[in-house]
Amino acid sequence: MSEKSPLIEVRDLHQKFGVHHVLRGVTTHVNRGETLVLLGGSGGGKSVLMKHFLGLLSPYSGQVIVNGEDISNMNERQLGKVRRATGMMFQNGALFDFMTVGQNIAFPLREGGVKDEDEIRERVLECLEIVKLPGQETKMPADLSGGMRKRVALARAIVDKPACVLYDEPHAGLDPITGDSIDHLIKDLQKNHGMTNVIITHEMRSVFRIADRVIFLKLGQIYWEGTPEEMKASSDPELLDFIEGVAREVTIS
């Protein structure tokens, strides 16, 4: 696969749940090494779209191409192979409460068959450094703040050195300063570890700070696509309405 080809391509993707037509012909792509943000109102189909990138949902119609391979109709075994080869990870915020921080972070390595305990320990400590939580490996998740738990979840997502991480609302429930630290981490992973990031967020401050490109989904279609600079300069009423609406919610809450 050429280094220049997109990591993920989506062609005329439709998804329906019963009569509910959620995705209505989405065509887009994710470039290797970029930070792409998915924006849009609640229920617009952002999480559903992201799940297709990993094959967690299969299309009603259309194609999802990852690393040049059509994953639309793959079985779990084939999908597992693609996920390992591309190193695509879903950053799931839920930690195992009965495991220490270190055990949580080591989990994907053990699942993946890594047996060397020294190597596991080294990787866990390295990831805790990256997420700025050194020395926290013996703590239990219940003893951490919400922001720290998010960072541990991020450490777990990157421990197997993925090429791409998908984040569904990594800023949700965080205060602005903790949210900022997540942004720094995301940018650090991109710059210093060559990672591709796909992020769903409602935090416009973060969007302007971290995005290379933005996709605005509305009613299951791509309504607007461009850079944060182009978004700032845009006079599109729907887009402005959305940005102002999000800003208003932040002020009220």
Ligand X SMILES: Nc1ncnc2c1ncn2[C@@H]1O[C@H](COP(=O)(O)OP(=O)(O)OP(=O)(O)O)[C@@H](O)[C@H]1O
Residue with tokens 């979840």: 153
* Cβ at position 51, least distance to ligand X in Å: 8
Tell me: does residue 63 bind ligand X (CB under 6 A): no
* Cβ at position 5, least distance to Mg ion in Å: 28
* Cβ at position 50, least distance to Mg ion in Å: 8
Among 1, 12, 27, 43, the residue binding ligand X under the rule CB under 6 A is: 43
What lies within 8 Å, CB to CB, of 34 at 6+ separation is: 190, 196, 197, 212, 213
Residue 86: left (phi > 0), alpha (psi -120 to 50), or beta? alpha
Q: Fill in the amino acid letter for 139.
A: K
Q: Which is nearer to ligand X, 43 or 245 (CB)?
A: 43
Round the CA-based radius of gyration of the chain to a whole number and report it. 18
- Indicate the pairing of strand 35-40 with strand 196-200: parallel
Number of residues that bind ligand X (CB under 6 A): 10
User: Crossing angle, helix 101-111 and helix 117-130, to 10 degrees?
Assistant: 120
* Cβ at position 42, least distance to ligand X in Å: 3
Query: Which residues are bridge partners to 89 per DSSP?
Result: 165
Q: Which is nearer to ligand X, 49 or 157 (CB)?
A: 49
* Cβ at position 153, least distance to ligand X in Å: 17
- Of Mg ion, ligand X, none, which one does residue 96 interact with (CB within 5 to 8 Å by kind)? none
Tell me: does residue 44 bind ligand X (CB under 6 A): yes
Among 47, 58, 63, 178, the residue binding ligand X under the rule CB under 6 A is: 47
Count helices and strands in the chain by DSSP H and E runs:
9, 10
Among 10, 36, 37, 40, the residue binding ligand X under the rule CB under 6 A is: 40
Q: Which is nearer to ligand X, 105 or 198 (CB)?
A: 198
Site for ligand X in 3-22 (CB under 6 A): 17, 22
Among 8, 35, 46, 167, the residue binding ligand X under the rule CB under 6 A is: 46
User: Crossing angle, helix 117-130 and helix 146-158, to 10 degrees?
Assistant: 130
Beta strand ranges found along the chain (DSSP E): 8-17, 20-30, 35-40, 61-66, 69-70, 88-91, 164-168, 196-200, 213-218, 221-226
* Cβ at position 177, least distance to ligand X in Å: 23
Binding region for ligand X (CB under 6 A): 17, 22, 40, 42-48
